[in-house]
Chain A
Amino acid sequence: MRLPFLALCLFALPVRAADPPKPVDFARDVRPIFAKACASCHGSEKQKGGLRLDRKADALKGGDDGPAIVPKDSTKSPLIQRVTEPDADKVMPPKGEKLTAGEVAILRAWIDAGALWPDDGSAAVDARDWWSLRPLQASGIRRQESGNPIDSFVRAKLNERGLKPSPEADRRTLIRRVYFDLTGLPPTFEEVEAFAKDASPTAYESLVDKLLASPRYGERWARHWLDVVHYGETHGYDKDQPRPNAWPYRDYVIRAFNEDKPYARFVQEQIAGDVLFPGTTDGIEALGFLAAGPWDLIGHAEVPESKIDGKVARHLDRDDFVANTMGTFQSLTVHCAQCHNHKFDPISQEDYYALQAVFAAIDRTDKAYDADPTTAAKRLALEAKRKAAVATIAGIETKAGPELAELDRKLAEGKRTTNGAKRPEYGYHSAIATTPDAAKWVQVDLGASVKLDRVTLRACDDDFNDIGAGFGFPVRFKVETADDAELTRPVIIADQTTKDHANPRTAAVTFAAEGKAGRYVRVTATKLAPRLPTDFIFALAELEAFDLAGKNVALGRGITALDSIEAPVRWRASNLTDGIAPPGPKLSADELAKLTQQRDERLKKSLGDAGTKALAQANADAQSADEGLKKLGPPSRRAYIGTAFSGTGNFIGTGGKPRDIRVLPRGDVTKPGKLVHPGAIAAIGLPFALTPQHTEGDRRAALAKWLTASDNPLTWRSIVNRVWQYHFGRGLVDTPNDFGKMGQPPTHPELLDWLAVEFRDSSGSFKKLHKLIVMSATYCQVSTIDTTMAKVDADNRYLGRQNRRKLEAESVRDSILLAAGKLDLTMGGPSFRDFVIEKPEHSPHYQYQLHEPEDPKSHRRSVYRFTVRSQQEPFLAAFDCADPSLAVEKRNQTLTPQQALALLNNKLTLSMAKHFAARVEKVAMDDRGRVTAAFRLAIGREPTTAEADELAKYAADHGLANACRVILNLNEFVFVD
């Protein structure tokens, strides 16, 4: 609503206001007025001028032009001004009955009394008045004299509820628990026994240190991270094409955990590693975070951005960037503000689109980079050198004045390609020679002797060996004419046989013939063009011979040649006079050369000796940088990341120029609204540092810094809560991706803040945080359920015991392979595929049932498995593995008959059960000994007598492999106390 300044127009109302009721009651007196007169335009459906008057928070906040209600001051409240506005075009409401004097009086009295509005659960007036948005409270620590502060916090809460902690678990339980927790794999029987017997008081701490130092730790914890960021290795959607270069991001995450990368840096690299840490491998590979989620190939590659479907696809793509970033690092559901302001949290629709604007220039694509940091550094230095030289050249050349600018303009115009697309009929191509000095010729028969004005040669354009324009154009050659086909008495039109001719690329090369006459025009190459280091050729797209009237008399005429490869349609002799040549510049090579020469002279004249010398130096620098870059060759590796790029066809990218981002009412791409600038969540109140002259990357860098600010309250709370959840099976906040009003409040707010501060101030070290947690008495408690305590705290939210955990899908699979002696611990590199792709050319079908379970490549840890979106691997899916199409903050835990069937009958279990049996068969002479060995390997303890007896009997009746299969299906195999 527009609120013009009315200071001079205010005059007394014509009627005396009736006395309002005293005191005014909002619900009884005010709300009905808003509902009757205002709600149709300023309510839940429409918010004209950004104002809504049906909810406290929004009404008191005001509209696009600021507050409408100024509590305690009705005369300064634009709301009152508008309902009393004398101008019939401006008064509110615009249609229907005006407010009565009595109603106006009620509104005045209500505002003057302070605009009291009972809390209606709408967003709080102070947007930050919510636990997760308040500054971190480090002061609330209750330190005991000694011991782990975590235990103090937990015990305080237990005491409040009359609960008590449980005793410490025994050594055998502890080692199995902490092994699975930190590495995702079980300890060996021998390790369990040694630890159980180790009397040292530091035995547990040493064990924890050992596990945190193990590479298995990074593999285990990277998998948790990959769940949250919905990492997948196919695009999803229609056709679900694979992403063969997604894995560098997975390896980056594993490496980051193993190297204990500080969290702030970890976050920054994933948003803007290319900008903040240029030249590093991590800075590129980390950007796989942005590209982790699904991508609509059809909506991007088959539909241009100008079509509605293309716009929808790109909007959904940015939505995924925003949701992934803010969900992962902030535990905020920003994506809810796509169609309207967030209904519960202080996130405006404009905030949401400001975040889209941060990612407005990027798309998902493969990026080439140097896997070797030395090469990357070299490339970076050369690129910098080149950039500096180019800048120097530009600086010097401006001194040459407007004449130079004019020459530059002419040159640019002359180099502009004439219209036309490249055609498949390339030209004439000689046979291949092994040395450059074999002479080759091709000639045209004009049919009769013609007096010629000029002859024009046009070169080919073939990408073979990255040669491109000028392909096969001879280095030395001559042009002759004669009346006989053997050219016994040739007339020379051009002789370029004594020095190398510059490659014209696609520019025309014209020679004046000055009326020389002949029936045959022949081009003889005396020094051939290289095609490969060992191959030399002579190729020409077109030969034109113009008579004195200016007509090309060669067009369509017959060709003879010494030799020709004749590989139609691209290569054949007749292509030489078919009138088809690659599109080239407007001016001929000669004319361009002339202009260039003029330019050189102009420079020399205006720059003087010193200037000319400096320019020569800068040109030499640029050239040497170019040569250096050429020598480095193209980058060695590709990673699928979020980056600005320039593509072809419909998927053209942005080339780094951000797309305009506008607020989309109701998320509708056909109704773009207000243009927005990059930013983050305004209500959090942290600066978003961005200058007006920023680059695309600066936007992401600004967001990365905003996210990792030490006083961003969400970042640090969010991550310590995630870590806690994976250690205990439940977060201190049970909705790890939603710290807003629809999420759960923390059970231990002081502990959460203490951990957040501790983590932030220990340079964001995950390993220190893990150690702190797993060394706590809270972590080391037994998981035995105390029935009395369970009555008070059935869900164990207050941690009067540890939680028994059901193994995740990956741990089940890896443990099966480990028990069978088949687990391959090779780290990193391209993912293994446990499927066969059928119909790869169109819509790949990922056929898991066709995979051979004995394939050793598939015996690596599950984190290295190629994760398909359209069809999840059935075994892992049965065990609730993360669906890569959605952000998985916490996995479901189900116990279904399908899960039982998978563990019993999946070909992996069956094949491993046989290997497992073969493994234990060797270690003992009888079934009892063998099943005992199997039990130790799979369960990590000695079987009881009864267990050993039963299993031995079963093995005797049904075979050792079946006994091993039973062991892999035990409850104890998939639950950890």
Chain B
Amino acid sequence: MNRRQFLFQSGGGLGGVALAQMLAAGATHHPAKAKRVVQLFMAGGASHVDLFDYKPELLKRHGQEANFGEHVEAFQNGLGPWLRPLWDFKPYGRSQRMLSDTVAPLGAVADELAFVHNMVGKTGVHSQGTLLQTTGFNRPGFPGMGCWVSYGLGSLNENLPTFVVLPDHRGLASNGTKNWDSAFLPAQHQGTVIYPGTKTPIEDLFADDREKFVTKAGDAAGHDLLAKLNRVHATSREGDERLDARIKSYELAAKMQLAAPEALDISKETRETLKLYGLDHGKGTFDKEINPIEETDYFARKCLVARRLLERGVRFVQVWSGNDNGFPRRNWDSHEDVKRDHGPLAYGMAKGAAALIADLKQRGLLDDTIVLWTTEFGRMPSSQGGKGRDHNPYCFTNWLCGGGIKGGVTHGPSDDFGYKPADRKHPTEVYDIHATILHLLGLDHTKLTVRHNGIDRRLTDVHGTVVRELLA
């Protein structure tokens, strides 16, 4: 291991020593517009035509036999007639952005948002679709976008992880931790899972409190003793920087034990802030059926924690809505009933996301924080089983806002039905979104590479073009 590799692998803070710091000139490939990213991921496949991509044609043709003009390969069989959006759409903001009633809270920040309506994926299989959007590859074994950002830019606060994941509290989405594993990048770039509000929000942050022999005083003295004995050991083995790095890692661990709980504690947030996030509902328990108050509580709470983490220098926060496939539906995979499941999920998401954007803005953080809303694929404009919709990997929506993004624009419309991009030859792919985000972070997606198994791997594989229309 040479010195450079060593520093990469073992150095400094939780993010290690960043690539950028290793580069001789400057911190990034080019001047950055943004420093941080929040990715909001809707697991299961959120319906673009019911939330963001307004299709009057579907209102007109509702109930008519769906004629796609070509053979459609659906994931499940049995496409039904055209199905109108399940909610009405209304215009918002100066941009007169059309939004569905179930995401109405986003109307308050409509002019901040830039929409991409011609996203295409590769398959209608959840696992592959999810991996494609999180890692840029539709098979396991590749680092998540947050890992690449951590690798490329390093940490802004060595006492907190660089890349934090806030999973749906009901369970992980398809592929589990593969969506944020560091794969061939060093382990410190892996997404750190945090469950705010629990006794041990980060794995092994504290000893289980049933282990009575562990005490605060004992741990403090233990840290000192360890450092002392380890230093003696290292002194007689001069030149091996790993031994010093390990001593340092224990110091950082102790600092994280203080920093993390403080960062996750929302009890000192003002009443106004809690109201903004819809966390003033006063309920301690929730109905058994899926409902908007509960969904707001879950999602907005994570959004508020995300803001606190971003404020404290976390580079990349991934917030999940929806768990893996299962019944009753607690994700966006509405094969059976879009209204029942998308309704509460979308409202909770919109409330939380709108609050996060407004809150970041009022604190001056939105200027250099990118928010990306995404999902693994969209849903079909025709029905399935009457009230549901099947997967549509041929067309879906992303939206972005914040650092360096031009608000109020729409890039790449879909066709009249939201079935495929209007211009089928020029869709937008996840590579383009990733390239654009890296670009705003000051990184050239073709240059952020790591050699693995004979290939210079990139987040964007061999694809990707920065979407200029989205840039402010």
Q: Cβ of B208 and Cβ of A895 under 8 Å apart?
A: no
Q: How large, as a class, is the contact surface on chain A?
A: 35 or more
Query: Which of A655-663, A749-757, A879-887 lies on the face that meets chain B?
Result: A879-887
Query: Which of A80-88, A177-185, A870-878 lies on the face that meets chain B?
Result: A870-878
Instruction: For the complex, give the distance between the alpha carbons of A902 and B177 in Å.
Output: 18
Q: Cβ of A308 and Cβ of B204 under 8 Å apart?
A: no
> Given A845-B171, A900-B249, is A240 in contact with B176 using a C-beta cutoff of 8 Å?
yes
6 tightest Cβ-Cβ pairs between the two chains A and B: A870-B176, A333-B454, A238-B127, A785-B239, A958-B218, A886-B141
Q: Cβ of A309 and Cβ of B75 under 8 Å apart?
A: yes
**In this complex, what residue of B is CB-closest to A320?**
B139
Q: Cβ of B188 and Cβ of A971 under 8 Å apart?
A: no
Partner of B125 from the list A298, A333, A737 (CB cut-off 8 Å) is A298
Chain B interface (Cβ < 8 Å from any Cβ of A) = 1-3, 9-10, 13-14, 16, 73, 75, 122-128, 138-141, 161, 171-172, 174-178, 181, 183-184, 186-188, 192, 202-208, 211, 213-215, 217-219, 221-222, 225-226, 228-230, 232-234, 237-240, 242-243, 245-247, 249-250, 252-253, 255-257, 324-327, 451, 453-456
- A768 an interface residue at 8 Å Cβ cutoff? no
Q: Cβ of B228 and Cβ of A892 under 8 Å apart?
A: no
Q: Cβ of B128 and Cβ of A895 under 8 Å apart?
A: no
Instruction: For the complex, give the distance between the alpha carbons of A237 and B179 in Å.
Output: 10
Q: Cβ of A237 and Cβ of B128 under 8 Å apart?
A: yes
Q: Cβ of B215 and Cβ of A971 under 8 Å apart?
A: no
> Given A795-B1, A946-B232, is A895 in contact with B10 using a C-beta cutoff of 8 Å?
yes
A 298-335 binary contact with B (CB < 8 Å = 1; else 0): 11000100011100110010000000000100000100
Instruction: For the complex, give the distance between the alpha carbons of A885 and B203 in Å.
Output: 22
Q: Cβ of B454 and Cβ of A843 under 8 Å apart?
A: no
Q: Cβ of A804 and Cβ of B237 under 8 Å apart?
A: yes
- A905 an interface residue at 8 Å Cβ cutoff? yes
- A954 an interface residue at 8 Å Cβ cutoff? yes
**In this complex, what residue of B is CB-closest to A884?**
B140
Instruction: For the complex, give the distance between the alpha carbons of A961 and B213 in Å.
Output: 7
For A874, the chain B residues whose CB sits under 8 A away are 203-204
Chain A interface (Cβ < 8 Å from any Cβ of B) = 236-240, 294, 296, 298-299, 303, 307-309, 312-313, 316, 327, 333, 336, 344-345, 730, 735, 737-738, 740, 742-743, 784-785, 787, 790, 794-795, 804, 806, 839, 842-843, 845-846, 869-872, 874-875, 877-878, 880, 883, 885-887, 889, 892-902, 904-907, 910, 913-914, 946-947, 950-951, 954, 957-959, 961-962, 965-966, 969-972, 974-975, 977
For B215, the chain A residues whose CB sits under 8 A away are 958
Q: Cβ of A872 and Cβ of B141 under 8 Å apart?
A: no
> Given A312-B128, A954-B222, is A900 in contact with B208 using a C-beta cutoff of 8 Å?
no
Q: Cβ of A894 and Cβ of B9 under 8 Å apart?
A: yes
> Given A737-B454, A902-B204, A905-B207, is A895 in contact with B246 using a C-beta cutoff of 8 Å?
yes
Instruction: For the complex, give the distance between the alpha carbons of A772 and B325 in Å.
Output: 54
Partner of B2 from the list A737, A794, A959 (CB cut-off 8 Å) is A794
Partner of A308 from the list B73, B186, B324, B326 (CB cut-off 8 Å) is B73
Q: Cβ of B326 and Cβ of A895 under 8 Å apart?
A: no
For B75, the chain A residues whose CB sits under 8 A away are 303, 309
Partner of B172 from the list A735, A845, A901 (CB cut-off 8 Å) is A845
> Given A336-B454, A842-B325, A951-B225, is A238 in contact with B175 using a C-beta cutoff of 8 Å?
yes
Q: Cβ of B225 and Cβ of A950 under 8 Å apart?
A: yes
**In this complex, what residue of B is CB-closest to A298?**
B125
Q: Cβ of B177 and Cβ of A897 under 8 Å apart?
A: no
Q: Cβ of A900 and Cβ of B126 under 8 Å apart?
A: no
> Given A845-B172, A904-B253, is A886 in contact with B183 using a C-beta cutoff of 8 Å?
yes
A-B pairs with beta carbons under 8 A, tally:
261
**In this complex, what residue of A is CB-closest to B3?**
A794
> Given A889-B453, A897-B249, A947-B229, is A842 in contact with B14 using a C-beta cutoff of 8 Å?
no
Q: Cβ of A977 and Cβ of B237 under 8 Å apart?
A: yes
For A970, the chain B residues whose CB sits under 8 A away are 226, 229-230, 233
For A804, the chain B residues whose CB sits under 8 A away are 237, 240, 242
Q: A238-B324, A336-B455, A795-B2 are in contact. List 17 more A-B contacts (CB 8 A).
A: A236-B140, A237-B140, A239-B325, A294-B140, A308-B73, A344-B454, A735-B454, A738-B453, A785-B237, A794-B2, A795-B1, A870-B172, A871-B177, A883-B141, A895-B9, A899-B249, A904-B204
Instruction: For the complex, give the distance between the alpha carbons of A889 and B451 in Å.
Output: 13
Q: Chain B nearest CB: distance from A947 CB in Å?
A: 6
For A878, the chain B residues whose CB sits under 8 A away are 187, 203-204
Instruction: For the complex, give the distance between the alpha carbons of A333 and B75 in Å.
Output: 33
A-B contacts, 21 of them at CB < 8 A, read: A238-B175, A238-B325, A299-B123, A336-B454, A345-B454, A794-B2, A839-B326, A842-B327, A845-B171, A870-B176, A874-B203, A883-B183, A886-B184, A893-B9, A894-B188, A895-B242, A897-B249, A898-B192, A902-B203, A969-B250, A975-B242
> Given A870-B172, A887-B453, A970-B233, is A892 in contact with B128 using a C-beta cutoff of 8 Å?
no
**In this complex, what residue of B is CB-closest to A294?**
B140
Q: Cβ of B454 and Cβ of A740 under 8 Å apart?
A: yes
For A298, the chain B residues whose CB sits under 8 A away are 125-127
For B255, the chain A residues whose CB sits under 8 A away are 897
Q: Cβ of A971 and Cβ of B234 under 8 Å apart?
A: yes
Q: Cβ of A327 and Cβ of B213 under 8 Å apart?
A: no
Instruction: For the complex, give the distance between the alpha carbons of A743 and B222 in Å.
Output: 45
Instruction: For the complex, give the distance between the alpha carbons of A648 and B240 in Å.
Output: 58
Q: Chain B nearest CB: distance from A157 CB in Å?
A: 18
**In this complex, what residue of A is CB-closest to B123?**
A309
Partner of B221 from the list A294, A303, A897, A958 (CB cut-off 8 Å) is A958
For A904, the chain B residues whose CB sits under 8 A away are 204, 207, 219, 250, 253
For A237, the chain B residues whose CB sits under 8 A away are 127-128, 140, 174-175
> Given A738-B453, A869-B178, A962-B222, is A971 in contact with B140 using a C-beta cutoff of 8 Å?
no
**In this complex, what residue of B is CB-closest to A234?**
B176
Q: Chain B nearest CB: distance from A467 CB in Å?
A: 34
> Given A870-B178, A904-B207, A905-B207, is A296 in contact with B127 using a C-beta cutoff of 8 Å?
yes
Q: Cβ of B256 and Cβ of A901 under 8 Å apart?
A: yes
Instruction: For the complex, give the distance between the alpha carbons of A737 and B204 in Å.
Output: 34
Instruction: For the complex, give the distance between the alpha carbons of A872 and B453 in Å.
Output: 22
**In this complex, what residue of A is CB-closest to B11?**
A895
Q: Cβ of A787 and Cβ of B238 under 8 Å apart?
A: yes
Instruction: For the complex, give the distance between the alpha carbons of A784 and B234 in Å.
Output: 11
Instruction: For the complex, give the distance between the alpha carbons of A313 and B192 in Å.
Output: 30
For A344, the chain B residues whose CB sits under 8 A away are 454
Q: Cβ of A959 and Cβ of B218 under 8 Å apart?
A: yes
Instruction: For the complex, give the distance between the alpha carbons of A785 and B206 in Å.
Output: 36
Instruction: For the complex, give the distance between the alpha carbons of A869 and B234 in Å.
Output: 36
Q: Cβ of B140 and Cβ of A905 under 8 Å apart?
A: no
Instruction: For the complex, give the distance between the alpha carbons of A977 and B236 in Å.
Output: 11
Q: Chain B nearest CB: distance from A968 CB in Å?
A: 10
> Given A313-B125, A902-B203, A907-B208, is A893 in contact with B213 using a C-beta cutoff of 8 Å?
no
Partner of B213 from the list A901, A959, A972 (CB cut-off 8 Å) is A959
**In this complex, what residue of B is CB-closest to A957?**
B221
For A303, the chain B residues whose CB sits under 8 A away are 75, 125
For B240, the chain A residues whose CB sits under 8 A away are 785, 804
Instruction: For the complex, give the distance between the alpha carbons of A579 and B205 in Å.
Output: 68
For B140, the chain A residues whose CB sits under 8 A away are 236-237, 294, 869, 885-886
Q: Chain A nearest CB: distance from B156 CB in Å?
A: 16
Instruction: For the complex, give the distance between the alpha carbons of A907 and B213 in Å.
Output: 13
Q: Cβ of A870 and Cβ of B455 under 8 Å apart?
A: no
Q: Cβ of A737 and Cβ of B453 under 8 Å apart?
A: yes
**In this complex, what residue of A is CB-closest to B230?**
A971
> Given A905-B205, A972-B233, is A897 in contact with B14 using a C-beta cutoff of 8 Å?
yes
For B177, the chain A residues whose CB sits under 8 A away are 870-872
For A896, the chain B residues whose CB sits under 8 A away are 14, 16, 187-188, 249
Q: Cβ of B226 and Cβ of A969 under 8 Å apart?
A: yes
Q: Chain B nearest CB: distance from A68 CB in Å?
A: 27
For B225, the chain A residues whose CB sits under 8 A away are 950-951, 954, 966
Instruction: For the complex, give the distance between the alpha carbons of A886 and B140 in Å.
Output: 8
For B127, the chain A residues whose CB sits under 8 A away are 237-239, 296, 298
